A and B are shown apart, each in its own frame.
Chain A
Amino acid sequence: MLEYLPLVILISLAAGLAVLVVILGHSFGPHRPTAKKGLPYESGMTPYGPGTRRMSVRYYLVAVLFILFDIEVVFFLPWAVMFRKLGVFGLVEMLIFIGILLVGYVYAWKKGALEWE
């Protein structure tokens, strides 16, 4: 448990800083709201309709590819930790793994899956 203490301190610092900045801004900044100021910014136009809009399906492909490559990253962690012990054999293993995934990357690239048309 104790070995996670630095992690806890880091997270508390990060969260604490975020909270602190918001509080500081809120308490020291001038605060004079009007109806016009409260409107969402819409390039000077009066906004209409709901603020949310449907996103393009292309984001979805990006998200799916992100998941797949994210899962691969998970495999790197135990490998990196054990890298010295595994030696050349481990390196070759990981190179094969990356090589196979590189095929997927090249495929995605050539197919234009990474382009935004």
Chain B
Amino acid sequence: MSLSDLLILLPQAFLLVWASLLLLVDLFISKERKVITAILGAAGLAITLGLTSGQWGSRATGFNQMVVVDNFSVFLSGLFTLAGLVAIVIAYDNMRRTGIHKTEFYSLLLFSVAGMMLMSAAADLIIVFLALELLSIPLYILAGLAVPRAGSAEGAIKYFLLGAFASGFVLYGTALIFGATQGTSLAGIMASIQSGTAELPLLVIGAALLLVGFSFKVAAVPFHMWTPDVYQGAPSPVTGFMSIGAKAAGFAALIRVFSLAFPSLAGQFAPIFAVLAGLTMVVGNVAAVSQVSIKRMLAYSSIAHAGYILMALVPLADPSVAANSTASALTYLVVYGITTLGAWAVISAVENADGGDTSVRDLSGLARQHPWLAAAMTFFMLSFTGIPPLAGFWGKFYLFRTAIEGGYTTLAIIGLLSSLVSAWYYLRVIVMMYFRESEAGASRAPSIQIAAILLALAVLVLGLFPSGLFQLALQALANGVS
């Protein structure tokens, strides 16, 4: 190890140290001044964002080829830190209002973001596994932050048990791949496959186990069972963060591992990816229709969106489509991230002070009392559906285009049809807000309102100028992945 190694991982290392210090500093901040903890947490993320964006354009490996920092990792790290920042803004108001303001939230969130950033930079299966743990364990804890509430305890324990199970799959897969190729580094695995020294059956089983583990993390059907309960039980700001953070980190690992380590296997895995994607889209969208709770509805919607992204990753092995495939997945992750954070920000503002479940009906008449929140929510729901001028439309456009380019027209049609189904439950939210007479109350905290409005604006701007984001995503692949 040398100093240059440390420089490569400077953003992650800085964030980890900052989070540890924040944990200590928080112990000495009096109860009335906890806003300082929130600000310090946000500052740490902002500095990390600055540090990581300074690495754009360069490519370097460090720590004996265990991590690689390239545009791909910087792109995703930016997404993770921004999601963390938004989550802090939402959480400060919501957690105080619902009486669960445990300030360890901020440092745990920072640890989780650091884990996600490590995941995006992982070039070795050992780091993939450790990053998975580092990002997941804080999320298990955060899901149980409201623990005297029954739903929170149930969600946390389910998330923990199934998450640990998924980690087990990843670990076992790693062990088998190590056995098959005598190495854990992604480059080494690829070299071993190409030279033909790898033991193929063992390798395929290992890769399949990794796929199962990652599918748990991105909540793809049939590994999605935990999602509704966890999303419903966890505090809303945590759910908002988890819905993009954990998913994007899972996809980061999936893309890295399957495009760097097993490019030759990706072709054989394409049918499996296709089945996963199709099932995920259909089950997610159909199950969302019958949900009463808006939290469960968004949980199933997040499952469906994972399906759309998986659909774009099916032709990953096809060299002519590979770049578009990954770039459209990255684009959609950003678009979906903004939209889901916005939707959860609105739910955080609307939910009762007891922090219990929120039904779609609880939003009725929101437009009268809180026109801005309702307008923002309308943007998010329309973007989720994929209505033209908004970012969600373009995100889906790129995904479907990739699927068709890769020759998976049937899959694209399934996606399109299930999208139509989704319109029903997304539009129901808008109908509730505007055409139902009721007095839906909501938090009037400016922070949460401003966050929701800014996110809605982002959805609009990205929808009006879509090519910029897609170009950025293409550049993210320019010096590393694919």
A and B touch in the complex (CB under 8 A): yes
Interface centre among A89, A100, A103 (most CB of B within 10 A): A103
* Interfacial chain B residues near A107, Cβ < 8 Å: 23-24, 27
Set B20, B21, B27: member contacting A110, Cβ < 8 A: B27
A100→B23 CA distance, assembly (Å): 11
Count, A-B residue pairs, CB within 8 A: 13
8 Å CB interface, B5-36 against A: 20-21, 23-24, 27
User: Distance in Å from the Cβ of B384 to the closest Cβ of chain A?
Assistant: 39
A89→B23 CA distance, assembly (Å): 27
Chain A interface SS verdict (over half): helix
Q: Does A2 contact B (CB under 8 A)?
A: no
A100→B17 CA distance, assembly (Å): 8
Q: CB distance B27 to A103 under 8 Å?
A: no
Size band of the interface chain B makes with A: under 10
Count of A interface residues, CB-CB < 8 Å: 7
Q: CB distance B24 to A100 under 8 Å?
A: no
* Interfacial chain B residues near A100, Cβ < 8 Å: 20
Q: CB distance B20 to A106 under 8 Å?
A: no
Chain B interface SS verdict (over half): helix
A100→B111 CA distance, assembly (Å): 13
A100→B13 CA distance, assembly (Å): 12
* Interfacial chain B residues near A111, Cβ < 8 Å: 27
* Interfacial chain A residues near B21, Cβ < 8 Å: 103
8 Å CB interface, A38-95 against B: 89
- Determine the residue in chain A with the shortest Cβ distance to B19: A103
Interface centre among B1, B21, B23 (most CB of A within 10 A): B23
* Interfacial chain A residues near B23, Cβ < 8 Å: 103, 107
* Interfacial chain A residues near B20, Cβ < 8 Å: 100, 103
8 Å CB interface, A93-117 against B: 100, 103, 106-107, 110-111
A111→B27 CA distance, assembly (Å): 8
A52→B430 CA distance, assembly (Å): 59
A99→B24 CA distance, assembly (Å): 12
* Interfacial chain B residues near A89, Cβ < 8 Å: 1
User: Distance in Å from the Cβ of A60 to the closest Cβ of chain B?
Assistant: 15
A103→B20 CA distance, assembly (Å): 7
A106→B20 CA distance, assembly (Å): 11
User: Distance in Å from the Cβ of A82 to the closest Cβ of chain B?
Assistant: 16
A89→B5 CA distance, assembly (Å): 14
A111→B23 CA distance, assembly (Å): 11
- Determine the residue in chain A with the shortest Cβ distance to B28: A110
A-B contact pairs, 13 of them (CB 8 A): A89-B1, A100-B20, A103-B20, A103-B21, A103-B23, A103-B24, A106-B24, A106-B27, A107-B23, A107-B24, A107-B27, A110-B27, A111-B27
Nearest 9 CB-CB pairs, A to B? A110-B27, A103-B20, A107-B23, A103-B24, A106-B24, A103-B23, A100-B20, A107-B27, A107-B24
Interface residues of A, Cβ cutoff 8 Å to B: 89, 100, 103, 106-107, 110-111
Interface residues of B, Cβ cutoff 8 Å to A: 1, 20-21, 23-24, 27
